[in-house]
Copies of this chain bind each other. A is one copy, B any other.
Amino acid sequence: RLSGQDAHRDHGEAAGVSRRSRNAHPLTDHAANERLARFERLVRGRFDAVVPTLKAIGTLAPTDDLAERAASMARAELGVALPAELFESAWITGLDMRRLYAVTMAETIHAVAAETHAFAGTESDTMTGFLLECGFHAVDISPCSDGRLKGVIRSILRLPDDAVRSRKAYAGAMFDVEANVRRWIETELLRFREGSPVPPSAGTRYLKIAVYHWSRSDPDYEGCAAHGSDQRAAAAAALSRLRELREAVENSFFCGASIDLLLIGVDTDTDAIRVHVPDALGDMDLDRYVDNLDLYRQTIDDDVTTARMRVHRAIEAASADHPGGPPHEGMRRLIATLLINNLSQIDYVRSTWGERYPDVGHAEAFISVGDGFEEFQVRNLAYFVFLQTVEEAATDLDVGIGLFQRRPERRGLPIPIAIHFRYDRRVPGSRERAIERCVRVRSAIRARYRDLCAAGLLACDMSIQERTFSSPIEVIEAP
C-alpha cells in the first residue's frame, strides 16, 4: 500500500495540514480522491485568499499608483481584475473595503465557475448505464440546502453530475412535491414519447433520494437548522416527504405508476453516509440502515474482496429481520455502490483532516440563490436557497442570512448573495425572462433586507446560464 500512502502524503502537504501516518481503506479510489483534492483546493483556495489579500491591499499607501498596485496584487493572488474606479477616491475617503470585498467575491465566483467547467463529470455515461442496469432510468436527489451538503453528489456520493436528473436543495430536504411530480411527468413523457433513456417496456423506475444530515460530534447544535438539530426529526420529515411524493405520483396517474424511494443521512463531521435500506415493497424505516462509518472501521484492514463482501452483507443484514424482505436486486447494487463510493470520501476526509473536518459548523463563503451553480459543489462553500421568488423562500433565506450574521469572523463584511438562474435556449424568451427574474429577485431581497442593504452589509451579484451542462456563466449588469 505504499503508493496509497504516498498519495495521501502529497495531498496532505498540498492542502497545508499535518501529515498523518495511517492506512488507507482498501476500497478507496485514490485517483478520484486526488482529482477531488485538486478541485477543492482550486475552489476553496480562491475564496480563502480573498480576505487576506484585501487586508494586504488595505495596508497599501494611498499613492497615485494605488489602483495599479492593488490591481496587480489582486491579479496575482486572486486571479481577478479589479476595476480602477474602486480606487479613484481612496485618497480622500480611504478604500471602501466593503465594496472592494463585494466586487472581489463576485469576480471570484465568476472566475472559479469558468475555471471549474473542466472538472465536470466525465464518467456519466458509465454511471447512467450502471443506473439503468440497476433498474433506474432517472435519479433525482434532494439534499438539505445546508452548505455542508454542497458536495453531496460529487464528493459524498461520488456521482457524476449529469447522471443525476435533478439535485435541487431545500432547507431540511423539504422538497416541493408539486415540482417533483412535474419533473416526474417530464421524465415519463421522454420515456413514453421518445424511448429515452429507455422505453417503458424496459420496466425501469424513477428513483427519488432525500438526504438529511447531522453532526456526530455536536449533534444538538451543528445538525440541521431547519429541524432544530434533531437528527431523528430531520430523518422522519425527509422520509414522510418521500412517501408524500410517491403517494402523489400513485394517485395522479393511476395505471400502476409509482416511484422508488431512498433515504440517506450524512454525518457532516466525516461525510459518512447512513443508507436506510428499503424493504421489498420499497418502504423504509428510521431504524433500519447501514452506517458507513461503522462499515469503514470494520473493513479498514480487510483485503478488497473481503471488504466488498462485507458491504453487501451489511445491506442484507439491514433487511434480514424485516418481514417484507430485502429490496430488489438493482436497489441493493445501487446502495452497495453508494456505500463503496462513500468509503473513498470518508477516507479522503480522514486522510486530509483526521477524525473530522476542522469546520464542523457553518463556514459558507456566500449565499447562492435561485437555480444554483453546479460548479460549486464544495462543502461549506455556499449556503444554497433554491427559489423562483423571495416571497415563497423567505424563511429559507432568513435562515441563511441569520447564519452569516452570527459568525463573528464575518462581522462588518457584506454578505455576498449570488443570484443565478438558468434558461433554456430552445424556449423563445427564456433568456430574457431569466434576466428579468434575476432583477426581480434582487429587488425583493433588497426590499426584505432593507437595513442590511442600506448599511452596505449585503451585496447581490446576478448571473444566468443556459441549462445545458457546463454552459458559460453570463454576468448580468443592471443598475
Q: Chain A interface (Cβ within 8 Å of chain B)?
A: 177-178, 181-182, 185-186, 188-190, 192-194, 243-244, 247-248, 251-255, 257, 388-392, 424, 426-430, 433, 440-441, 444
Q: Are B427 and A248 in contact (CB under 8 A)?
A: yes
CA separation between A274 and B188, bound complex, in Å? 39
Q: Are A429 and B392 in contact (CB under 8 A)?
A: no
A432, chain B: closest CB distance, angstroms: 11
- What residues of B have a CB within 8 angstroms of the CB of A389 in the complex? 388-389, 391-392
Q: Are B181 and A427 in contact (CB under 8 A)?
A: yes
Q: Are B429 and A194 in contact (CB under 8 A)?
A: no
Q: Are A253 and B178 in contact (CB under 8 A)?
A: no
CA separation between A428 and B246, bound complex, in Å? 9
CA separation between A251 and B467, bound complex, in Å? 14
Give the residue of B177, B254, B427, B440 whose beta carbon is less than 8 angstroms from that of A429: B177
Q: Are A440 and B253 in contact (CB under 8 A)?
A: no
- What residues of B have a CB within 8 angstroms of the CB of A194 in the complex? 253-255
Instruction: From known contacts A389-B389, A389-B391, A389-B392, infer whether A426 and B252 are also in contact, taking CB-CB under 8 Å.
Output: yes
Q: Are B193 and A188 in contact (CB under 8 A)?
A: yes
Q: Are A427 and B192 in contact (CB under 8 A)?
A: no
Q: Are B248 and A428 in contact (CB under 8 A)?
A: yes
CA separation between A178 and B248, bound complex, in Å? 22
Q: Are B189 and A253 in contact (CB under 8 A)?
A: yes
CA separation between A309 and B391, bound complex, in Å? 55
- What residues of B have a CB within 8 angstroms of the CB of A255 in the complex? 193-194
A331, chain B: closest CB distance, angstroms: 23
CA separation between A441 and B390, bound complex, in Å? 12
- What residues of B have a CB within 8 angstroms of the CB of A390 in the complex? 391
Q: Are B426 and A248 in contact (CB under 8 A)?
A: yes
Q: Are B193 and A428 in contact (CB under 8 A)?
A: no
A-B pairs with beta carbons under 8 Å apart, 9 shown: A185-B185, A192-B192, A244-B428, A247-B427, A251-B426, A389-B389, A391-B391, A391-B440, A392-B440
CA separation between A433 and B251, bound complex, in Å? 18
A416, chain B: closest CB distance, angstroms: 22
- What residues of B have a CB within 8 angstroms of the CB of A253 in the complex? 189-190, 193-194
CA separation between A243 and B182, bound complex, in Å? 24
Give the residue of B193, B388, B391 whose beta carbon is less than 8 angstroms from that of A192: B193
12 other contacts beyond A192-B192, A193-B253, A391-B441, with CB at 8 A cut-off? A177-B428, A182-B182, A185-B185, A185-B189, A188-B193, A189-B189, A243-B428, A244-B429, A247-B428, A248-B426, A252-B424, A391-B444
